[in-house]
Amino acid sequence: MEKIEARSVIKFLYLKAYSSRQIHDEMKAVYGEDCPSYGTIVRWKRNFQTGHMSLTDEPRTGRPSLRDSAATVKKVEDLILEDRRVTIHVIKHETDLGYGSVWKIIHEELHMSNVSARWVPRFLTPLQRQTRRDLSRQMMTLLEQDEENFFGRLVTMDERWIYLYDPETKEMSKE
């Protein structure tokens, strides 16, 4: 349930002169576990009683959250794509964000992780997924056309021979 939706229901039931307990019971019956807590209902009913009829949160003091800005996320992504070996400290200085904010953008917004000192996406991009789907369909078409010779012509990687040599241990050579 969205915050605005819950607040509008609370406001509606408040205007119908329901008590906080009645509002909670009514919402619990309709929305089940998705219902806001009783404390939230009491707080918003108190807001409405004091004349604050707006359903949105009041602006707060303090530093605005730059992490959620789409432009900031795009700037961090551009820095990473420019140099996959860039560190969080360099990004921090380039964007004037805190270390934790940069870390959250990289891991939670861009879904990247650091592998061998390089930033690598954890999930495929929509373009990569579409390319894989197209290639899989082409492979299935080729398989259906010539099933007998398909696997003989399929090359998946370089063929290399690796010889396994198991040297004797000192204990083995003593025997």
Residues 68, 45 share a domain: no
- Do residues 36 and 72 both lie within one domain? no
Q: Output the CA angle 35-41-42, nearest 5 degrees.
A: 155
How far are the Cα atoms of 93, 94, 98, 164 from residue 89, in angstroms, in the given order? 6, 9, 9, 44
Note if the pTM is more than 0.85. Answer: no
Q: Is 90 helix (H, G, I), strand (E, B) or coil?
A: helix
Strand partners, 114: 119
Q: Would 57 be classed as within a structural domain?
A: no
pLDDT one digit per residue (tens) for the chain, 175 residues: 788 899 999 999 999 999 999 999 999 999 988 899 999 999 999 989 988 888 887 777 766 555 457 888 899 989 988 888 889 999 999 988 889 889 988 888 888 887 766 776 777 777 878 888 998 899 899 889 988 888 877 766 665 655 555 556 666 656 5
Looking up residue 8, the CATH number of its domain turns out to be 1.10.10
Q: Please tell me the total count of domains within the chain.
A: 2
User: Is the domain of 68 the same as that of 136?
Assistant: yes
Residue 112 lies in a domain: yes
Q: Give the pLDDT confidence score for residue 61 in this predicted structure.
A: 76
Overall size of the chain counted in residues: 175
**Structural domain harbouring 104:** 63-142
Segments in 2-125 forming alpha helices (H)? 3-15, 20-31, 38-49, 70-82, 88-95, 99-104
By the 10 Å C-beta count (0-12 exposed, 13-18 middle, 19+ buried), 27 is classed as buried
The CB density around residue 22, as the number of other CB atoms within 10 Å, is: 13
Is the residue at 160 inside a domain? Answer: no
